[in-house]
Structure 1
Amino acid sequence: MRYAVVYLKGGVGKTTLATHLAAHFARSAPSLLIDADPQESSATWAAWRQEHEALPKPTTVRLRGKAVFDEGRSLAENYQNTVIDAGGHDGAGLRNALLAADRVVVPMGISGFDGAVFDDFMDLFNTAQDFNQGLEMRVVVNRINPQSSDRELREFLGERNVHVMERVVHERRVFQHAIGDGLTIEEYKPRNGSAIHEMGQLYREITEWK
């Protein structure tokens, strides 16, 4: 299965979600992580991860533009699961990620939410579906304050018939610390039980996506 973690906005946790998902898949079978973002944050995380010999590691490659589709789909044939991390802007990397994927995971927060940006993204997604007819999308409410409500965001997405995953992932500093060490929050110490529980439920929702 090929998953693209994308959106038209930075700071919503795309790389954190993509690296965690790729590492989760790598625990049970070989997985591929494609860094399609010029900032190369996922590839940097993967390089730091090499220092931890005992941890499962997704095979990580950097691809740009049309290579995300052409080379990415070819490489993905050798892996049970592939995760594509694209940049937070409209460009060749994001568009080709949509064409290469089977499923699109869209992290969105409530801070600075812009309905026009989402509508622009849906235009891109719908265009990609014209060429990639099996493409499906779900939103993850991500990086929100534990005291905040996501009700208005869910209502907005519901009006557009967008499927939103039940599990909300809250903003916690442990994610930044873990990513900076090439780890996931399940591997980072001291352990944060709430963050681990939330991610575990999100993994389950994604893997049970039918």
Structure 2
Amino acid sequence: MIITVAGFKGGVAKTTTAVHLATFFQRLAPTMLVDGDANRSASLWASHGHLPFQVYPEGQAMKYSRQFEHIIIDTGARPSADELRDLVGGCDLLVLPTNPEAMSLDALLQTTEALSAIGGMYRILLTLIPPSPSKEGAEARALLQEEELPVMNASIRQTSAFRHASAQGRSVESVRNSKMAKLAWLDYERAAREIAAAAGDRHD
């Protein structure tokens, strides 16, 4: 199974999503994360050696891909129309993370407009949802549903646990003594199960 994580805007938890999807799928079968972002954020995250899966730069992915059942691809921000077409054609499911800020939603809508012309299967994952009493997450979901876009039921809460995980070179569920880290991992578990089901549907 090949899952690609992409977005038109930085700061929407794209790499965080790729890392935690890879963590989930590694529990099911050998998984690698392909770091296709020029910033090499996933490779930097992995440099501490505590992630449970292998990370390879894009240029080495073909060499190692046959060793893995699942491949998660972290892409660069703001892909061109041609790059987006290639991304859609090269995976089982395209995942588009977005936070609920207006600028991020505008960038997401540009992406979905391009995808409507290209075709292909994708899901939108709401990330960095602020805690109550903020209504940003609910309002963003309502907007996407009104546009009849495939927004996922799962969403990812905003928490400093992800910063701690990145700084330690771990996935968030292995951050110790943090209730929020456990809750954040549950968010990504729900998202990953939903993604697995959607990508599996493509093979039926």
Report the counterpart of residue 105 of structure 1 in structure 2: 95
Shift of 1:117: 2.0
Report the counterpart of residue 27 of structure 1 in structure 2: 27
Native 8 Å contact 1:86 1:93 kept in 2: no
Aligned to 1:17, the other structure's residue is in SS state: helix
Matched, 1:4 2:7: no
Report the counterpart of residue 124 of structure 1 in structure 2: 114
Shift of 1:77: 4.5
Native 8 Å contact 2:99 2:105 kept in 1: no
Report the counterpart of residue 60 of structure 1 in structure 2: 55
Counterpart amino acid of 2:90?
A
Question: Do the aligned partners of residues 30 and 113 (structure 1) sit closer, same or farther apart at CA in structure 2, a change above 3 Å counting?
Answer: same
Matched residue count? 194
Native 8 Å contact 1:87 1:93 kept in 2: no
69, 83, 97: which is aligned to 2:72?
Answer: 83
Which deviations, in whole Å up to 9, do the C-alpha atoms of 1:3-45 show, x marking residues without a partner?
1111101100000010111122112311121111100001111
Native 8 Å contact 2:98 2:104 kept in 1: no
Separation in structure 2 between the aligned mates of residue 94 and residue 174 of structure 1, nearest angstrom: 31
Which deviations, in whole Å up to 9, do the C-alpha atoms of 1:79-134 show, x marking residues without a partner?
221111112213476554333111011111112445542232123323443xxxxx
Tell me which moved more, 37-46 or 97-106.
97-106
Higher helix share: 2
Tell me which moved more, 184-193 or 38-47.
184-193
- Fraction of identical pairs, as percent: 27
Counterpart amino acid of 2:34?
I
CA RMSD in angstroms, aligned pairs only = 2.4
Aligned to 1:56, the other structure's residue is in SS state: coil
TM-score, length-normalised on structure 2? 0.83
Native 8 Å contact 1:87 1:94 kept in 2: no
